[in-house]
Chain A
Amino acid sequence: MTWREWAIRNLRYHWQDLMAYFLSCTWAVTLVHLFMQVIDHPELASDVHRGFFFVALFLLVFFMAGFIWLSHQYFYRKREEEWELLSWLGMESAHWKRLLLWESGLLAGISILGGLGGGFLLAPLFYLAVSTVLFLPDPLGMHFSWRGILWTVAFFALLYFIVTWRIWNQLGNEQLRSTKLPRLQLSEKWGIVFSLLSLGGVWWGTDTATWTAWIPRFPFIVFLGLFGGFGLLRYGGAWLMSWARNQPLILKIPSLWLLITWLRPRWSQDARLLILISGMMQLQ
């Protein structure tokens, strides 16, 4: 059995766990590919329109990178017993690298190819939707940009490589099992205060910005929006749970939806909140 065959067997065995993640990654590649194609479309003459798509693409890439990073780490953490056994059998850094590169390479390859394929299939529909939303006098014609394809492939290949390198580094140093995801430790009260201040900053930043001032402020607005939205749900939720503990049942009802997420490991809760906020922000 070769390393490639071993990696294929691992992916096949963990397929049910990986399916949702794989489909999300493929969809992410599709979206990024479509946005890249529109940005590089010769018939999209307006810089304002192009700027709008750049901002949307930035948001998409930012949250997708976070999603892939966290999901990848989660899947490798779930295989803790497997890593422990292999470490006992004498698996060392170079071996981890081989196995991980094969596994991630296969996943990345299938996701990227599937995503590009999805992009090609959905492009006519997407061009039509873009033309309608932007009130373009003539709908965008079919056009495929090699530059768009290359950027999409390069971005996702680099992202997968960095994530794999990080896991390899942790497995080589036997850290994957011992380290927790970085977590900002704040009390609930201060967490809520900082979250509200951040969201206030987002509101002020977007409300007072002119179109030209908007672009340089954009990364700060994204950061504050992420921290504020995520923090408010997380710290507010924790506060609501602790407050509702001593209340009559009728007052507990608003916090019951949070209880469902608390029955699962904390990481999944964080990931769900992150995806929820990214979705909300993209809707905005």
Chain B
Amino acid sequence: MLEAKYLTKVYGGEIGAPRHRAVNGFHLTIQPKEWVGVMGPSGSGKTTLLRMLGTLDLPTAGEIWFKGRELTQLSSKERADFRRRHLGFIFQDDRLLDALTLRENTWLPLILAGEDPTKMQKRSDTLAALFGLDKGWHRFPRQASGGEKQRAAAIRALIHRPDLVLADEPTGNLDSKTSRCLLSGLEMIRQESETAILMVTHDPVAASWCDRVLFIRDGSLMTEVRRGDDRKLFLRQILTVISAMGGDSLDLERMGNS
């Protein structure tokens, strides 16, 4: 479904400014229904990679193919259209509009798509039940807890049935119970649809929900771990790679909570 080839992003390089190669010749393929995790130390290029795949940033070099279309060649309008139709975004800080209730926030992709309001309500209420967000559904973001806001953000990312959800540390600000609720909701949606998920995370427990985890360092792929039938074994493998990387991608305090 999505294939990135030789993806490179260089920041700086203007007169007097130092050059920084955030992503360096990265290759990546994502199949429908696949859940791919990306882990690595801070500054390793995870978020830059996510932004390029989400067409929010253009790569300095390389290609991104999505269902036969080369995304880096699209115009600004075409990229906006592509994001609206095919992508869903979940950010670490929920990024909801304060003027709208949680429920109304989840409708945004459907409003942009010109959907019928009745369909919007039906679909969002179904997802809210799935994510356990029945209570507080009509609150404004300033009145809601972090977990409620993040679940609303996840529903917003899924409501238009995107092909790919890009999640940048979606559990970063959540406690373990809320994290589990969010991740299980994502898993259920993935099972019932063709939606693939690419999730950047620092949390090994969250990463253990993925089909495979890519470890990147200094903008390049270091190694990849695939999940078999045993999730606990997968988690141990993730932890082993993290410790081999020096453990600096781990937030030990957060892991303790998980």
A2 within 8 A of partner (CB): yes
Are A13's CB and B112's CB within 8 A?
no
B81 within 8 A of partner (CB): yes
Give A169 Cβ to nearest chain B Cβ, in Å: 14
Are B98's CB and A90's CB within 8 A?
no
Residues of A within 8 A of B83 (CB): 88-90
Are A91's CB and B120's CB within 8 A?
no
Measured in the bound complex, the distance between the Cα atoms of B77 and A88 in whole Å is 12
Q: A90's contact among B81, B95, B117, by CB below 8 Å, is which?
A: B81
**B-side binding surface: helix, strand, loop or mixed?**
helix
Are B107's CB and A85's CB within 8 A?
no
The interface size bin for chain A is 20 to 34
Are B99's CB and A9's CB within 8 A?
yes
Name B86's closest neighbour in chain A (CB-CB): A90
**A-side binding surface: helix, strand, loop or mixed?**
helix
Q: A13's contact among B81, B89, B99, B109, by CB below 8 Å, is which?
A: B99
Are B104's CB and A9's CB within 8 A?
yes
Are A10's CB and B104's CB within 8 A?
no
Residues of B within 8 A of A217 (CB): none
Are B99's CB and A91's CB within 8 A?
no
Are B80's CB and A85's CB within 8 A?
no
Are B117's CB and A82's CB within 8 A?
no
B188 within 8 A of partner (CB): no
Residues of A within 8 A of B85 (CB): 90
Are A87's CB and B80's CB within 8 A?
yes
B97 within 8 A of partner (CB): yes
Residues of B within 8 A of A92 (CB): 77, 80-81, 84
Residues of B within 8 A of A131 (CB): none
Residues of B within 8 A of A91 (CB): 80, 84, 112
Give A280 Cβ to nearest chain B Cβ, in Å: 38
Measured in the bound complex, the distance between the Cα atoms of B101 and A13 in whole Å is 11
Residues of B within 8 A of A93 (CB): 77
With A6-B100, A9-B100, A89-B89 in contact, do A1 and B107 touch (Cβ < 8 Å)? yes
B10 within 8 A of partner (CB): no
B37 within 8 A of partner (CB): no
Interface bits B110-133 vs A (CB < 8 Å: 1, else 0):
011000010010000000000000
In the A-B complex, the 3 residue pairs with the smallest Cβ-Cβ separation, listed nearest first, are A90-B84, A13-B99, A90-B83
Residues of B within 8 A of A (CB): 54, 56, 76-77, 80-85, 87, 89, 95, 97-100, 104, 107-109, 111-112, 117, 120
A selection of 26 A-B contacts at a CB cut-off of 8 Å is A1-B104, A1-B120, A6-B100, A6-B104, A6-B111, A9-B99, A12-B99, A13-B98, A14-B99, A81-B95, A82-B97, A85-B95, A88-B83, A89-B83, A89-B84, A89-B112, A90-B80, A90-B82, A90-B83, A90-B84, A90-B109, A90-B112, A91-B84, A92-B77, A92-B80, A92-B84
Given contacts A6-B104, A95-B112, 18 further A-B contacts (CB under 8 A): A1-B100, A6-B111, A9-B99, A9-B100, A9-B104, A12-B99, A14-B99, A82-B97, A85-B95, A88-B83, A90-B80, A90-B82, A90-B84, A90-B85, A90-B109, A91-B80, A92-B77, A93-B77
